[in-house]
Structure 1
């Protein structure tokens, strides 16, 4: 709890200082026809979030241990994202850098696992790359992305502790939960700061690496993290498939995700955040716990978790 609290306080302070700097430098996300905000708001504050993450681990003497490499890759992605928030890097360059981090991060997870690991390397790297981008896609309304990381990382730490995971894994989960709890102080509706790519890309990457390392290194059920991240995976994946089916440009910004359409229909970001929390903690997190407790039912529970979400995506796909 000390690590979580310290990470939260550091984030409140560093992100607040960043907000003052960003306003003075005019590092603002201007409203457009594809955005969900209506006033210019400082973006790129995720760089403060990531620095707070590293500082919390160092100051709290909570060494990430073998997870230092994924953390370092996350810091590198935060710097890339920050530059992109300010100067709009070419999409191809960004994707190449994200892919390199995914390959390196996944390679670290499976190192020493022989032929099985070698065969799994590229599929797992693709999954890490996909979720890194999915998380970025889902950072489109106030509070939602921070709530996803806070919820998943906190529940992941709990389940990992039950499975006897290494301290470095638990520390990284708890620190991630703490910094996103602190970021919500500035990002809850109506948001005063946006994390931007500087926060969403490294956060998505670190969550994906933790999801891969959980069953591979720490004894977690392989379905726990997919359940904890089901809302983001479902909305981002389903929307992407719909756009592919009709030939829409995949690199073009849009507001077609269900969470964005619900926010417009309800006229509220907070109501969407509340729905997310209800599904996350009343449905997905209990299923993840049950899957960890009853491994024989794990894959059945995974399907049970995703089925109603995907049905809702299909039912409301025409909602404007």
Structure 2
């Protein structure tokens, strides 16, 4: 059994620090050459920023994630056959080197699928992509992951075809939820980092029934995503020097969605079917934003694909908050949901009902506060 206190620092050092550094450094040339690359966001339209700002932060995020796993793959290949190199690792990790190596091929297929979405997003950032074509590619990539790589949820349903369809919808939904959340400095990146951290903690503290060990592979994936996002936020903190763009939001939404499908939320000693609601709890804010925005657009007879200023963050600003206060408020709500998701995987049914109730009450409070603005708009 792993002792977290002995190897947690080492795990963070190899999964968070490298992507942070790679992402942070690689974004500088993207900023410098953004105009030449055609990756520039100009004021106007539904956007609320007032200055010409580079796009393409997603390129740096991609570099941080892919670069870290490239280094990791090389390192594992070297260490697994060398007793001298193994002396540098915590003793608890060495027995799992072969298991880690067995996941390398699926990992790179997953990263290849994420790269397709990143390229799609960068093309969208440059000149736009037909929304129906964009959805088609998203569904194709999601289907490849679910049907080709066999990553999918179970949800205790037991109907294979239904769970696979739900898995595809889950991936596409999260891709677009993070894309829609990317509307203020530091918002989508910060929320994604909080969610990735929360889910990584769940993976490290929830034992996989099949191996009786923490879910290191999924936790590592989420921590690498978090580290890369932190490197991006170095440039995206207010006032933002670069925006994430569609290339970044598609990639982040995709990897977080797939990580949750790969995860096991049930402990090996006690059956906790309610733990499967942990992803919904931690994703409450992005899903709330996407759902309400689509509802507002459809209710007003507008295309759900055309951007506007009806997002959760914009509505908070209309209530009187500054943009920074709105972002920090959403961070706080997301962190609360993240803590609830962690608790949900470790408590029994009565306590789980209370945890889910807390999340529901918090969202209801947000709706009530927002309703004051809706009522004033009608007057």
Paired residues of 2:60 and 2:232 also in contact (CA < 8 A): no
1:236 matches 2:290: yes
1:173 is aligned, of 210, 215, 222, to 222
1:58 matches 2:111: no
In the superposition, relative to structure 1, how do residues 239 and 299 fare at CA in structure 2: closer, same or farther (>3 Å)?
Answer: farther
Q: Which moved more, 1:89-98 or 1:289-298?
A: 289-298
Query: 1:218: how far off?
Result: 9.3
Q: Which moved more, 1:219-228 or 1:285-294?
A: 219-228
Distance 1:142 1:103 in 2: 32
1:288 is aligned, of 328, 332, 341, to 341
Paired residues of 1:227 and 1:302 also in contact (CA < 8 A): yes
In the superposition, relative to structure 1, how do residues 150 and 15 fare at CA in structure 2: closer, same or farther (>3 Å)?
Answer: same
1:145 matches 2:188: yes
Q: Which moved more, 1:174-183 or 1:302-311?
A: 302-311
Q: Which moved more, 1:184-193 or 1:123-132?
A: 123-132
* Structure-2 residue corresponding to 1:274: 328
Query: 1:104: how far off?
Result: 2.0
Q: Which moved more, 1:248-257 or 1:56-65?
A: 56-65
* Structure-1 residue corresponding to 2:97: none
What is the CA deviation profile of residues 202-251 of structure 1, one whole-angstrom value per residue up to 9, with x for unaligned ones? Answer: 11111111222224799893122221121111121122123223432111
Distance 2:117 2:267 in 1: 25
Q: Secondary structure at the match of 1:109?
A: coil
Paired residues of 2:54 and 2:243 also in contact (CA < 8 A): yes
Paired residues of 2:296 and 2:310 also in contact (CA < 8 A): no
Give runs of aligned pairs for residues 84-99 of structure 1, distance below 5 A: 84-99=124-139
1:208 is aligned, of 231, 250, 257, to 257
Query: 1:25: how far off?
Result: 4.4
Distance 2:250 2:173 in 1: 11
**How does the TM-score come out when normalised to structure 1?**
0.90
In the superposition, relative to structure 1, how do residues 142 and 266 fare at CA in structure 2: closer, same or farther (>3 Å)?
Answer: farther
* Structure-2 residue corresponding to 1:109: 151
Distance 2:369 2:220 in 1: 40
Paired residues of 1:228 and 1:284 also in contact (CA < 8 A): yes
Paired residues of 2:289 and 2:311 also in contact (CA < 8 A): yes
Q: Which moved more, 1:231-240 or 1:132-141?
A: 231-240
Paired residues of 2:125 and 2:247 also in contact (CA < 8 A): yes
Q: Secondary structure at the match of 1:85?
A: helix
Q: Secondary structure at the match of 1:110?
A: coil
In the superposition, relative to structure 1, how do residues 187 and 253 fare at CA in structure 2: closer, same or farther (>3 Å)?
Answer: same
Distance 2:299 2:318 in 1: 24
CA RMSD of aligned residues (A): 2.6
Distance 1:276 1:175 in 2: 23
Distance 1:54 1:218 in 2: 31
**How does the TM-score come out when normalised to structure 2?**
0.77
1:129 matches 2:172: yes
Paired residues of 1:31 and 1:39 also in contact (CA < 8 A): yes
What is the CA deviation profile of residues 84-105 of structure 1, one whole-angstrom value per residue up to 9, with x for unaligned ones? Answer: 1112111111110011112222
What stretches of structure 1 of length at least 5 have no aligned partner? none
Q: Which has the larger radius of gyration?
A: 2
Distance 2:139 2:364 in 1: 27
Paired residues of 2:146 and 2:164 also in contact (CA < 8 A): yes
Q: Which moved more, 1:63-72 or 1:81-90?
A: 63-72
1:154 is aligned, of 183, 193, 197, to 197
What is the CA deviation profile of residues 10-31 of structure 1, one whole-angstrom value per residue up to 9, with x for unaligned ones? Answer: 1110011111111454521001
In the superposition, relative to structure 1, how do residues 208 and 217 fare at CA in structure 2: closer, same or farther (>3 Å)?
Answer: farther
Counting matched residue pairs gives 319
Distance 1:264 1:56 in 2: 41
* Structure-1 residue corresponding to 2:58: 46
What stretches of structure 2 of length at least 5 have no aligned partner? 1-11, 77-99, 208-213
Q: Secondary structure at the match of 2:184?
A: coil
